[in-house]
Amino acid sequence: MIELNYRNVSAEKVGRENGLELDAVFGEYREKISEIVTRIYAEKDRDGGWKRWLNLGYDKALADSLNQYAHSVKGQFSDMVVLGIGGSSLGGYALLRALLHPYWNQLSDEKRNGLPRFYFVENVDTDQIAPLFEMLDPQRTLFVVISKSGTTAETMSAFMIAKEWLEKNLDAAEVKKHIVAITDAKKGVLRPVADREGYQTFEVPDDVGGRFSVFCAVGLLPAALCGISVAEMQQGIQDLDKALQNPDLSKNPAAQGALIQYLLYERGKPISVFMPYSYRLASVSDWYVQLWAESLGKKHDLNGDVIHVGPTPVRAVGVTDQHSQVQLFNEGPHDKVFTFVAVGKPERDLTIPANQFSEVEDLNYLNGKPMSQLMNAEFESTRASLTSNQRPNLTITLPQVDAYHFAQLLYLLEVQTAIAGELFGIDPFDQPGVELAKKYTYALMGRKGYEELIPVARGEKSEARV
Ligand code: PA5
């Protein structure tokens, strides 16, 4: 099981000014947390509650249908291109980066066991997209287009380019076999298109929003297509969920993480740094940044009052950022709370040779040591230096990076976000703040009905809204 260690947020460790009197605050919030956790889980099936993602780890039928499709196409495709953005992309990418060989795309077909290489198109920058099409073989490429709404300009424009590319290069009857669509069961623009064209489809279930969708087909289909065990991920979620459903604050790591982050935000620490000490988990930082920012950064509270609240998440990765951001983390403003992710043991280790520069005294301490020992020492030291500098920090530890524990990590952070949303008194499942720029884009691109916004979008009028 993964574990959360929060001892370094205590006043005892980082001082009263920067830390929390944990016994006191846990006592103070015990009842409130109990109500919140009970309410969240009670609402997991409520229409319009946006909490159906709590059920995904138990959905055996979903796992079966994904595995069945993955099995049916095995060996047909050398490359898989996922078209999606935000919640429709970040989780799947983090998942493949963590659970596949770190240089998967460079492995031979044989070493990949006939499973596809993967690419994610999550930008409309043609310097990313055009070279990809130059490189791919249409006969051997599968596109997985993911959009709950089907109206997302970035995803749909890339999809139209991909479809045209397939049509130019394949027989008409073949094209649909190279496209899978993941979208809403009934609503949206992509659903009728997919049904009409006869694509294989999977659902983004009702009441599962983008950034909470990694454990439906959005994240799990790319995983299954690359041979990752969906069953192990679901088992990991189920086993952890027993603790996360527990209304007792002292036993619930998601509630502990949420409460600590909330209280430190309220006490002048608006920045939340997420720093895995793992190359394989580096992209989890990007996923976390979106989850935390889009869920908690809100103008209005649940009563409609303007509060402009929300912690700013910052991405970091150990050990790389020790030579980049850690100077700021240790000596800059006291405005941050840190979440480290540590991994018990790497899948592979290396020994630093003992006889390479034996004449160089300053390097002798490295001789013959496992590289993992250096990684651990650097993690422990960075954490200790932050603690000495009175910077509150939490550590989530995974025994190893595998499907079971990876799923636990993401699920823990999802539940933590839902609880944090309640503590902040906001709706963590909406994202009204991204709408305005979308409307301006529609205006600039000539979408019907948005003409009036053109001068504002061009910056010719200063009104923020029309
Ligand atoms: O978390 C979210 O809700 C968003 O990031 C969406 O996932 C993103 O905007 C893409 O939306 P869609 O799946 O409708 O294309």
Give the distance (Å) from ligand 1 centre to CA of residue 181: 15
From 71, 101, 345, 438, active-site residue: 438
CA angle 39, 42, 46 (to 5 degrees): 110
Distance from CA of residue 140 to its chain's centroid? 28
Stretch 428-440: mean pLDDT: 91
> Can you give the pLDDT at residue 435?
84
The tokens describing 414, both together, are: 């999802």
Q: Quick check: is 438 catalytic?
A: yes
Domain spans of the chain? 3-42+245-424, 52-228, 435-466
What homologous superfamily is domain 3-42+245-424 in, according to CATH? Answer: Glucose-6-phosphate isomerase like protein; domain 1 (3.40.50.10490)
Using CA of residue 194, residue 198, residue 204, residue 207, what is the dihedral sign?
positive
Q: Residue 152 Cα, ligand 1 centroid: separation in angstroms?
A: 8
Q: What is the pLDDT of residues 232-266, one digit of tens each?
A: 999 999 999 999 999 999 999 999 999 999 999 99
The per-residue pLDDT for range 338-362, each reduced to its tens digit, is 999 999 989 999 999 998 998 999 9
- pLDDT at 466 exceeding the cut of 90: no
Which residue blocks in 267-395 are alpha helix, DSSP H?
282-296, 326-331, 371-388
d(CA 120, CA 100): 15
Q: How far is the CA of 213 from the centre of ligand 1 (A)?
A: 9
pLDDT (tens digit per residue) in 5-28: 999 999 999 999 999 999 999 999
Q: Dump strand ranges (E) for 271-360.
A: 271-276, 298-300, 306-309, 312-315, 336-343
Q: Are strands 271-276 and 298-300 parallel, antiparallel or unpaired?
A: unpaired
Residue whose tokens read 């492995």:
107
Give pLDDT tens digits for 49-99.
Answer: 999 999 999 999 999 999 999 999 999 999 999 999 999 999 999 999 999
Q: Candidates 50, 152, 286, 292: which one to mutate for ligand 1, based on the most atoms within 8 Å of Cβ? A: 152
**Beta-carbon neighbour count of residue 388 at 10 Å?**
11
Burial class (CB in 10 A: 0-12, 13-18, 19+), 95: buried
Residues with CB under 6 A from ligand 1: 85-88, 147-149, 152, 155, 209-211, 294, 431
Judge whether 257 and 74 are in contact, CB under 8 Å. no
Minimum-distance ligand 1 atom for the alpha carbon of 204? 13
Other C-beta atoms closer than 10 Å to the C-beta of 181 total 24
Which ligand 1 atom is the nearest neighbour of the CA of 431? Answer: 3
Distance 210 CA to ligand 1 centre (A): 5
- Taking the CA of residue 434 as reference, the ligand 1 atom at the shortest distance is 9
Q: Classify residue 236 as left (phi > 0), alpha (psi -120 to 50) or beta.
A: alpha
**pLDDT averaged over every residue in the chain:** 96
pLDDT at 464 over 70: no
Residues 453-464 have a mean pLDDT of 83
The answer to whether residue 294 is catalytic is yes
Tell me if residue 300 is catalytic: no
Give the mean pLDDT of 317-329: 95
Enter the pTM of the model: 0.96
pLDDT tens profile 390-416: 999 999 999 999 999 999 999 999 999
Residue 463: per-residue pLDDT: 63
Between the CA of 283 and the centroid of ligand 1 the distance, in Å, is: 18
Best residue for ligand 1 mutational test, from 149, 187, 427 (most atoms within 8 Å of Cβ): 149
Write out pLDDT tens, residues 108-129.
999 999 999 999 999 999 999 9
Question: Does the structural domain 52-228 have CATH classification 3.90.1170.50?
Answer: no
pLDDT value for 371 = 96
Average pLDDT for 374-392: 97
**Which of 9, 22, 21 shows the shortest CA–CA distance to 386?**
9
